[in-house]
Structure 1
Amino acid sequence: MTLKPEFKRLLWYGSVFLALFYLPVGQVRFDGAILEALHLAKWYAREHVLLCLVPAFFIAGAIAVFISQAAVMQYLGTGANKVLAYGVASVSGTLLAVCSCTVLPLFAGIYRMGAGLGPACAFLYSGPAINVLAIILTAAVLGPQLGLARALGAIVFSVVIGLAMQLLFRREEQQRQQAAALPVEAMPRGLGQNALYFASMVAILVFANWGSPAEQQGLWYLIYSAKWWLTSGFALLLAVLLVRWFGVPARRMALVTVLVAGLALLFPQRPLLAFVAGTAGLVWLTASGRDETGELRSWFDNSWDFARKILPLLLLGVLVAGALLGRPGHEGLIPTTWVAGLVGGNSLSANLFAAVFGAFMYFATLTEIPILQGLLGAGMGQGPALALLLAGPALSLPNMLVIHCVLGTRKTLAFVSLVIVMATLSGLIFGAIVQ
């Protein structure tokens, strides 16, 4: 028996014992924090795993199988046209109404397929930061100045952060791109076919998660009222494409379609049942792999690979974030009065704290707006409000854990630091302008 391993084990056992011995069970704040962690995890599982993450995993898996590596490197690689690469990446969030966690499988998919670190990080930031509905709602609820500053800041941020990441790790990126620059087989489908296929899946992701707007009228509410009809239409389009172009047996697809349609007709007030049935059907169709080329099985394998690596880290991060920060309107271990007291005025410390707080807290899509509304009412300055808006939706503790899994420690620290520093500086500048 060697002493060193046993000594480490003894320290581990001792640490666990002391943690249990002094566990503050029975104290109101501690018990409340544990409940908040569980409440947030339950809410996350119900509202985001099925509707957001599962479609995102399938899209990420499809990127790995159905998009040529050469095409990804041509448009998003290190040698790609910079204006095109960063232009596409910086405005991607206008099409994807996703949160900081849902964007992760998509980011991992394009990065694994050879996208340059800069464009991939620009996409990672912009995806959850600048969806159109969030910016419009920010302007309507928090004022047009904050709405405009958020839109411009998010687009500029994504480009600057992407360029900075590419510059900081240029040697590593050159080596990675050279290693990836191997001959690849031509894809069996053309650009138009792949574009329609991916558009149908992205539309399902967007419309299934379309939130109710503040006003019960107008275009956004009309889309919200028809969200499940729109989702069903794009799901039907995806089913047709899978049969026509991807070798899914028509009889199997017909069986899944009848099951989903039956549930939708029997339970019109519970559309999630039909959505779950459709998802289960897609899992069955891809996992069984009844196509000649084996693409369907590869699609499932890649999607599952993303899910098994990302989901545990996300759920762990959600539990920790819930325990520390709670949910909107509920406190965790850190009292909200502390937060409100630290973000008043337009000092460097107030903007930095707002950026750090936003970076670690988990915000679902659009939830940052009512939270900020309450903080502004409690005395939060306009500058710190913008800092939180620019750092919060794009980052979270669960998000950081997964980014670390994809990029490693150094790149993750650099990305997080760039977001926090730029959010802080933007808050300072904006606060000085509007004062």
Structure 2
Amino acid sequence: MPSRNTALAVLAWVLFFFGLFTVVYPRVTGTTLFPVYNYGDLSSYNPILIPFVYLANYLTRAWGAFLFAFMLGGIIEAFIPRQKMTNYFSSRSAKSYFLAALFAPVLTVCSCAMIPIFGGIIAIGAGIGPALTFLLMAPAANFLAILFTSELISPLMAAARFGFSFVIAILIGFIVAKTPWARAVEEKFAKISAARAAEVVKMDFREKSVNSLRDAYVLVRTILPYLLIGVAAVSFIDAYMPRDVVGAYLTGAQGVILGAVIGVPLYTPTLVEVFLTKALLNAGMAPSAALAFLLGGPMISIPSMIGVSRIIGWKTVLTYALLGVLWAAVAGFIYMTFIGGL
């Protein structure tokens, strides 16, 4: 039994570091570690094949990020003491929201890959408000996304994206934490994490490593099937949404509102939203609508909402989604009124 546990402990860390390597390697070299399946024109496929083709592209592109994210979620759940998490990520402390928003940009992951990490910190006693701030801030304004936005669009747009994302993620987390259904979720996980806390304290490094593998598996089983269903559903929107027509309507006040809304069904992997926004800007999209899209899209997508709902329920998910669209539109209107251009 000890030898089996040792092997599982080693496996946990091998998977974590390999996942981390697959995430870092493309950022450093500019090329993917393994081939990515490219489907060309998605609308040219038989409708029955579209979700499978889309999933093949998605999984060959994102499997490493998912491996890293699920293992990180498991490690957080197994290793970080509950007391520290409740101290630093408490919904009752204003400082917790700022810490969550400051630390989140380190993770260059999409909204879907953030879900297991979110699940991990919630499970060990983080307040739901700061946890949501963390969940929303990472895909909306991670360092690479801001860098790409600056290089491909403009430094002004990058600064606006980071600043508004920071404020919006904190506001959403703070507001949602005050709702009765979010409080009920927080209380449920507080009881679970308290029950586990005594057991975790007694474990050595090897036992915690084995537990991290088990916790990661629970996150995979809970989240991944529903996440893949959501991605498959989005494939039809990606295939048939007329982007040239969308670009033509993304000007003025209606453009800002549409920009905030269309990111919900139009899911894109991390950093891809920058290239899509650049293409829409070239087609006539207003900068204010572009900002609303860059804020709303990465924070709130159908696949991520489906995955997160498995952890905190639909009431809480719909609350933060509606707030996300609202605040993204408000940010777009502020940008349109006081800045306007790129």
TM above 0.5: yes
Rounded Cα–Cα distance in structure 2 between residues aligned with 1:429 and 1:366: 24
Match of 1:320 among 233, 238, 260: 233
82 and 181 in structure 1: CA distance in 2 versus 1, 3 angstrom threshold: farther
C-alpha distance in 1 between matches for 2:205 and 2:185: 34
Query: For 2:106, which of 59, 77, 95 is the aligned residue?
Result: 95
Which residue of 2 is the match for residue 68 of structure 1? 81
Per mean C-alpha deviation after superposition, the further-off stretch among 55-64 and 97-106 is 55-64
Partner Cα distance (1:385, 1:124) in 2: 22
User: In the alignment, is residue 433 of structure 1 matched against residue 313 of structure 2?
Assistant: no
Q: Which residue of 2 aligns with 1:172?
A: 184
Which of 99, 122, 131 does residue 120 from structure 1 map onto?
A: 131
CA contact (8 A) 1:116 1:173 kept: no
CA pair 114-352 structure 1, distance change in 2 beyond 3 A? same
> Quick one: distance in 2 between partners of 1:178 and 1:304?
21
Alignment of 1:366-385 (within 5 A): 366-385=271-290
Instruction: Sort the Cα spacing of 1:178 and 1:368 in 2 relative to 1 into closer, same or farther, 3 A.
Output: closer
SS at match of 1:91: helix
Q: What is the 5 A alignment of 1:95-174?
A: 95-169=106-180, 171-172=183-184
1:89 is paired with a residue whose SS is helix
Could you give the per-residue CA deviations for residues 148-180 of structure 1, whole angstroms, max 9, x where no partner exists? 100101111111111111122365367447646
1:246 paired to 2:152: no
Q: What is the alpha-carbon distance in structure 1 between the residues aligned to residue 132 and residue 47 of structure 2?
A: 33
Give the % identical residues: 28
Give the match for residue 44 of structure 1: 58
Give the match for residue 298 of structure 1: 211
Cα pair distance change 1:31/1:295, threshold 3 Å: same
Q: Is the 8 A contact 1:33 1:324 kept in 2?
A: no
Of 415-424 and 297-306, deviating more is 297-306
User: Number of aligned pairs?
Assistant: 296
What residue in structure 1 maps to residue 241 of structure 2? 334
1:43-71 deviation line (CA, Å, top 9, x unaligned): 1111212x111121111111222122222
Q: Deviations over 1:52-105 (max 9, x none)?
A: 1112111111122212222211211334x321x112210223211111111110
Equivalent AA in structure 1 for residue 235 of structure 2: G
- Matched to 2:71, the amino acid is F
Q: 1:413 aligns with which of 318, 322, 334?
A: 318
Question: 2: distance between equivalents of 1:33 and 1:145?
Answer: 41
Question: Closer, same or farther in 2 for the Cα pair 1:354/1:123, shift >3 Å?
Answer: same
> Distance in 2 between the 1:91 and 1:397 partners?
25
* Residue 361 (structure 1) aligned with residue 266 (structure 2): yes
Q: Deviations along 1:229-275, whole A, 9 cap, x unmatched?
A: xxxxxxxxxxxxxxxx734xxxxxxxxxxxxxxxxxxxxxxxxxxxx
Read off the aligned partner of 1:37 and give its amino acid letter: P
By how many angstroms is 1:393 displaced? Answer: 1.6
Distance 1:366 1:33, change over 3 A: farther
Could you tell me whether the CA contact under 8 Å between 2:172 and 2:320 is conserved in 1? yes
Q: Which has the larger radius of gyration?
A: 1
Partner of 1:394: 299
Q: Is the 8 A contact 2:122 2:189 kept in 1?
A: no
Q: Distance in 1 between matches of 2:46 and 2:252?
A: 32
Q: Deviations over 1:214-242 (max 9, x none)?
A: xxxxxxxxxxxxxxxxxxxxxxxxxxxxx
Provide the rounded CA distance (Å) in 1 between the counterparts of 2:210 and 2:189.
27
The answer for unaligned runs of 5 or more in structure 2 is 1-41
CA deviation string 1:278-312 (max 9, x = no partner)? xxxxxxxxxxxxxxxx4343222211110112111
Q: Which amino acid aligns with 1:350?
A: G
Structure 1 length-normalised TM: 0.64
Separation in structure 1 between the aligned mates of residue 332 and residue 220 of structure 2, nearest angstrom: 36
Q: 1:346 aligns with which of 242, 252, 259?
A: 252
Q: Give the whole-Å Cα distance in 1 for the aligned partners of 2:208 and 2:145.
A: 37
Uncovered stretches (5+) of structure 1, i.e. residues with no partner: 1-27, 190-244, 248-293, 326-331
In structure 2, distance between residues paired with 1:177 and 1:364: 29
Alpha-carbon distance change, 313 to 182 in structure 1, aligned in 2, over 3 angstroms: closer
